[in-house]
Amino acid sequence: MTPEPHQHEPRPGHQHGHQHGHQHGAGPDHDALAEMLDLDAEVLREPFGDLLDWLEGLTGDASPRRILDLGSGTGAGTLALLQRFGQADAVAVDSSEQMLRHLLGRARELGLADRIRTVQADLDQGWPEVGTADLAWASASLHHLADPDRTLGQIHDVLRPGGLLLVLELDSFPRFLPDDLGFGRPGLEARCQAEIDRRRAADLPHMGSDWGARLSRAGFTVEAERTLSVDLKPPLPAPARRYAEVTLRRLRPALDGSLAAEDLAALDLLLDAEAPESVLRREDLTVRAERTVWAARRAI
């Protein structure tokens, strides 16, 4: 599952050079993004497990044999699904060769590499050769596409009759900070959120879509919708603090020139690992996030 705001998500479509960055190039930025996605999966482990229980109930006796993960990123969804459905194999699609390498490295560690085929593809440029599937999975990826309705139609076409598609989409940027940081700048995170929302509306017009309606137009029957909620209370374990730090650090460049200098200075202080105010040291951090999940089926 991929995370958070649009700056951080794996993209199944094309890469481009916008400042907020869906590019998954090699080097430090790729490494930081991969770490953030892996931490996201760790932080979401419990609610994600509940989601898989729900999905298993939807599949019933028809356990999937072929899984298609669109926008697989570091492979949290692919690997969890293969562990849950022991007879299945998977095709993981992502635009980033580096992300797919990372996924295969994790798969080898878990003994799952022989059950995964990776496909590097830009879904905005054409549908790749992925074969048919019983279960398709798209986590925080469809809103990046130029034409998600076309892609939903293509997913419908490759699903076997009775097959399921799960769409997970972000409701907002995750929240970490208390309103009172203790060194001034109350409401800092709310102002960061407002700026990200403003940019998101311009850069990603499909984010926040009525995906249920889009799924219906593509020929699916929407069987269920649910909210995946995360509300971790302080004190947070070290991985959750690191998740907050990495996520906020990736957000920081997009806020240059948009927030007051005092807000940017406060954010920099929070990101200074040596400072007493660092998010890595704070005892009052939380993780609050919501994602919406739609389960849709191709007619038999």
Written as six digits, the tokens of 286 are 């939380």
Report the pLDDT value the prediction gives residue 197, as an integer from 0 to 100.
87
pLDDT at site 29: 75
For residue 26, pLDDT beyond 90? no
Query: Does residue 40 have a pLDDT over 50?
Result: yes
- Domain boundaries, given as residue ranges, for the chain: 6-174+205-234+289-297
The residues, ordered by sequence, that sit 6+ positions from 25 with a Cβ below 8 Å of its Cβ are 98
DSSP for residue 175: B
The CATH architecture one would assign to domain 6-174+205-234+289-297 is 3-Layer(aba) Sandwich (3.40)
- The whole-number pLDDT of residue 31 equals 84
Q: Are 167 and 294 in contact (CB under 8 A)?
A: yes
pLDDT in tens, 244-285: 999 999 999 999 999 999 999 999 999 999 999 999 999 999
Total-model pTM: 0.88
In angstroms, the CA 90 to CA 65 distance is: 8
Rg (C-alpha) for the chain, rounded Å, is 19
Report residue 281 as tokens: 């040291």
Q: How far apart are CA 267 and CA 46, in angstroms?
A: 29
pLDDT by residue (tens digit) across 214-226? 999 999 999 999 9
Strands 159-170 and 133-139: parallel
Phi and psi for 241 in degrees, rounded to 5? -65, -45
Q: Is 218 exposed, middle or buried (0-12, 13-18, 19+ CB in 10 A)?
A: buried
